[in-house]
Amino acid sequence: MFNLKSKALAAGAVAVSLGLGAVTAKAQEFINVLTGGTSGVYYPLGVALSEIYGKGISGARTQVQATKASVENLNLLQQGKGEIAFALGDSVKLAAEGNTEAGFPGRLDKLRGIAGIYPNYIQIVASQESGIKTLADLKGKSLSVGAPASGTELNARAIFAAAGMKYEDLGKVEYLPFAESVELIKNRQLDATLQSAGLGVASIRDLATSLKINVVAVPAAEVAKIGSPYVSVIIPANTYDGQAEDVQTAAVGNFLVTHDGISDETAYQMTRLLFENLPALTAAHAAAKAIDPAKALEGMPVPLHPGAERYYKEKGLLK
């Protein structure tokens, strides 16, 4: 039943056609915003972004597409099947390098950067009754690591490698989207889920209100073994119901990416409107509070789009 509902949501997620605006762009501009699953952070931010672009770019028609997130998004951009996409920094780096094991057919040489936005926190959450409190406790247990070759799953592989673990150490590995993972934990069919998302992601909030959870730490020493673009961060106490203490974990920056077939003017407007409408994005999801134009170029894994470059130069953020 849940799967059917989930598929219906995803189908309905190829959503929201929005029109008219105030700034000049070429007539009949079409902007497809590539996001992620409907229960993650990319999707609500993508809906907000599509509304901003629909109102702010004259003649633009915008659409939001729910996807399997980073890896699929980047492949779609390379094929010209989207105009702007959300993606994790390590996925973007691997795409530019053409890492086939990560799910890329070769070097994705058409990708161009718009902005670094907010960090994804690697959030490993287990039901309290599973007894999982540490990474080592996952051995012999069941864990969902996200959709196959998704940005989340690439993060899971990196964390496991740093901890000296393999998927084979687990009792069972599931490759499921966030919401489906949570449903299985609620139904006692899964012990834990690894989700790479902004803090306060809806799926984990939902889980924490349904049963008692443990948020599993990723120690700073393990994060240091992975290195850039991973950094050690804290999930603050009370981010989720029942999480009484700060929890150490890893984070990876998220980026908005486009491709070289997008006009300089459109890329400029997409960049400008992003930063001029941060309150609307924050209203869509609290993760957007971390979006800062002064930090938007940090760790950019691909060349900037010339249109985005123009915006940063105008603002004195790039020479």
Tens place of pLDDT for every residue, the chain, 319 residues? 334 344 444 444 444 444 434 444 445 789 999 999 888 899 999 999 999 999 999 999 999 999 999 999 999 999 999 999 999 999 999 999 999 999 999 999 999 999 999 999 999 999 999 999 999 999 999 999 998 878 899 999 999 999 999 999 999 999 998 999 999 999 999 999 999 988 889 999 999 999 999 999 999 999 999 988 898 999 999 999 999 999 999 999 999 999 999 999 999 999 999 999 999 999 999 999 999 999 999 889 999 999 999 999 999 999 8
β-strands 172-174, 142-144: how paired? parallel
Q: Are 154 and 90 in contact (CB under 8 A)?
A: yes
- Longest distance between any two alpha carbons in the chain, whole Å: 58
| Distance set, CA 3 to CA 8, 176, 179, 253 (Å) | 8, 11, 10, 30
- Which class is 120-252 in CATH? alpha beta
- Residue 225 burial class via C-beta count within 10 angstroms: exposed 0-12, middle 13-18, buried 19 and up: middle
pLDDT in the model for residue 198:
87
CA-based nearest residue to 34, from 20, 18, 50: 50
pLDDT in the model for residue 227:
86
Q: Are 84 and 259 in contact (CB under 8 A)?
A: no
Alpha-carbon distance of 134 to 142, in angstroms, equals 14
pLDDT in the model for residue 228:
80
Alpha-carbon distance of 246 to 158, in angstroms, equals 22
**Token pair of 170, please?**
């687990």
pLDDT in the model for residue 270:
98
SS3 130: helix
pLDDT in the model for residue 46:
98
pLDDT in the model for residue 14:
44
pLDDT in the model for residue 27:
53
| Distance set, CA 1 to CA 206, 208, 297 (Å) | 18, 22, 43
Query: According to CATH, where is 3.40.190.10 located in the chain?
Result: 2-118+255-314, 120-252
Instruction: Give the domain 2-118+255-314 fold.
Output: D-Maltodextrin-Binding Protein; domain 2 (3.40.190)
Alpha-carbon distance of 118 to 81, in angstroms, equals 24
pLDDT in the model for residue 40:
87
User: What residues does 249 pair with on adjacent strands?
Assistant: 233
Q: Are 130 and 191 in contact (CB under 8 A)?
A: yes
């926190």: which residue's tokens?
121
Q: Are 11 and 42 in contact (CB under 8 A)?
A: no
**Token pair of 300, please?**
């950019």
